[in-house]
Structures are given as C-alpha cells and as structure tokens.
Copies of this chain bind each other. A is one copy, B any other.
Amino acid sequence: MNRRQHKASLTKKKISDAAIKLFEEKGFRNVTVDEIVQVTGTSKGAFYTHFKSKHEVFFDKFKEIDRYYEEVLLDFVKEEEFSIEKLRIFLRLQMKYIQEDLGWDVTRTIYENELDPSRKSYFLMEDRPLYRILTNIFDEGQKNGEFRNDISTEKMVMVCLRVMRGILYDWSINEGAYSLEEEQELLFSTMINGLEA
C-alpha cells in the first residue's frame, strides 16, 4: 500500500467512524451526508468514492455481523451434542447479539437497504458465512437423524432464513418495542418442531 492508498484508507475510516457514531447518536435517518462530510472536513466527492450510498456505510458493520457469528457464536455451539441444540442456541445468541449490539435502527436500515433493487444486496450473496453455518448444522443434524430426511438441507436453510427475516423485519417495524431474545423462542421452537424428524 503506497502513500496515496494509505491516505485514502484513512479518509475512508474517518468518514466511516464519524458516520457510525452519528447514526448511533441520532438515528440513521436523522443524519445527512452533508453533515458527515462537514464534521469530517471532507466532501461529497470523498464520501461517494468510498461508499456507493449512505446505506453502504453499514457494509463493514455487516461483515462484522458475520464475523461475530463465525468466531464467537460458533464457539458457544461447538460443545453441544445435538444439532438441534446447536441450532437453538445459535439462533438465541444471534438474536441477543442483534438486539444488544446492533439495535433496531441498524437492523431496520439494513433491512431497508435490501428492499432497494438499485443497491447491492448483502442477503443474497450466496457465500455468506451465515448460510454455511446453517447448512452445516442442518447437514449434521440430518445425518444423525435429528432433522427430517424428506427435505433437502438447502430447503431447511431457506425455511430458517425466512423465519429469521420474518422476526427481524417485524422487530424493525415495531421499532424494537419487544425483546427479541424472548420472542424468538416460541417462533424458532415452532419451526424446529416442524423440522424435527
């Protein structure tokens, strides 16, 4: 990385840090790009060379989510004997993390971004770690007879993803008004119930 690239990456980080801080303080919608640009002493040009949109500032946050799933949550899950328990715990911790560390405004913003066809989708990237994690769990659980055998792993992953999206979307439109950690239990246990062998 030469001097120029280095300086550029500093600018990107400066913008990103300031933006995320402002979003946390005032909420995503109440922060303007002009404001971000102003407090960082940069410019529209700088902002949009580093980010495709105001939403995209979250992209790093998003990669962070997946890293957290892989590095932290998988550890908690590893020791469990049964795949069903792995799944249950993974989902609970995931919801807890989203509630406590991301918060509903970030979640809402990410969910909103996905609905805009002109913007890059993170949910539809096929190689998301989340998908691998779920695939592994279902695969293993199906092999040792815990999950139904009449449905492919892919389909079970799809079911699981849609249920997750359902509760996270619902939580977002409710502006985080209920405890995700508590409410997830019934929903996911119903789903797991329906997927058990």
Least distance between A37 CB and chain B CB atoms (Å): 23
Cβ B170 vs Cβ A187 within 8 A: no
Cβ A159 vs Cβ B186 within 8 A: yes
Cβ B174 vs Cβ A170 within 8 A: no
Residues of B within 8 Å of A108, CB to CB, are: 115, 117
Q: Does A112 contact B (CB under 8 A)?
A: yes
Q: Interface readout for A87-115 with B: 1 if CB under 8 Å, 0 if not?
A: 00000000000000000000010011011
| Residues of A within 8 A of B (CB-CB), count | 39
CA distance A165 to B108 in the complex (A): 14
Cβ B123 vs Cβ A159 within 8 A: no
Within 8 A of B (CB), among A164-193: 164-167, 169-170, 172-175, 183, 186-187, 189-193
Residues of B within 8 Å of A195, CB to CB, are: 190, 193
CA distance A191 to B29 in the complex (A): 35
**Residue in B158, B167, B172 whose beta carbon sits within 8 Å of that of A115 in the complex:** B172
Q: Does A45 contact B (CB under 8 A)?
A: no
Within 8 A of B (CB), among A142-172: 151, 155, 158-159, 161-167, 169-170, 172
Known interface pairs A166-B169, A194-B192; A175-B111 also in contact (CB < 8 Å) = no
CA distance A29 to B111 in the complex (A): 17
CA distance A18 to B189 in the complex (A): 46
Cβ A111 vs Cβ B115 within 8 A: yes
Residues of B within 8 Å of A114, CB to CB, are: 173
CA distance A194 to B124 in the complex (A): 27
Give the interface of A toward B (CB within 8 A). Answer: 29, 108, 111-112, 114-118, 121, 123-124, 151, 155, 158-159, 161-167, 169-170, 172-175, 183, 186-187, 189-195
